[in-house]
A = this chain, B = another copy of it.
């Protein structure tokens, strides 16, 4: 019985990793759709968001069932409660990709990102992908040293975000307020996605140690 339970716990971790992979693909595709005004790809990301949401519900149902039937304590209980939280973070990261894709679709056939900003957005997309990869590994490994590294990558994202905003408020921004609004929102979506990844790394800390790391969000 307990062995079956531990198989189930491992399956839940596997599902979280699968969810992270879907989020990674969505974020990558959303960035490409945004930078290349690719409507088909944007629509794909938008449709895919339901799959991620559905995955979260199924995962949460399984987690709740184990909470109800297995009376877990200590680390097993933390695994289940943390799973509920990680699935919520991953679902929100999926929403961020969804928002990016919707902005790409809204501006189609134009691109929401003017040439001056496209390198920065591309970088933000790259860093977001890197961060999701690391999160995926940390969910699996529960390695606290790796978890501690995530805020460093998040600093990189914050730097890019500041650079983006700086370019918007420079005197010679030629693209008007609408474009500034689009880029402000895009910047926030990438930044929030990275923040959720940092949240997940903090939850791994809680999972392993039973103690909270302070939230700087």
Q: Give A residues with C-beta under 8 Å from B.
A: 53, 57, 64, 67-68, 71-74, 77-78, 81, 84-85, 88, 95, 165, 168-169, 173, 176-178, 180-181, 184-185, 188, 212, 215, 217
Contact = CB atoms under 8 A, between A and B. Distances in A.
A184 B169 CA distance: 13
**The 10 residue pairs across chains A and B that have the minimum distance between CB atoms:** A184-B184, A177-B180, A169-B178, A71-B71, A68-B73, A181-B184, A168-B177, A180-B180, A68-B77, A169-B177
7 contacts: A68-B73, A71-B71, A168-B177, A177-B177, A177-B180, A184-B185, A188-B188
Given A53-B215, A64-B81, A84-B81, A169 B181 contact: yes
A154 to B, nearest CB: 16
Given A67-B81, A68-B73, A77-B68, A168 B188 contact: no
B57 A67 contact: no
A173 B177 contact: yes
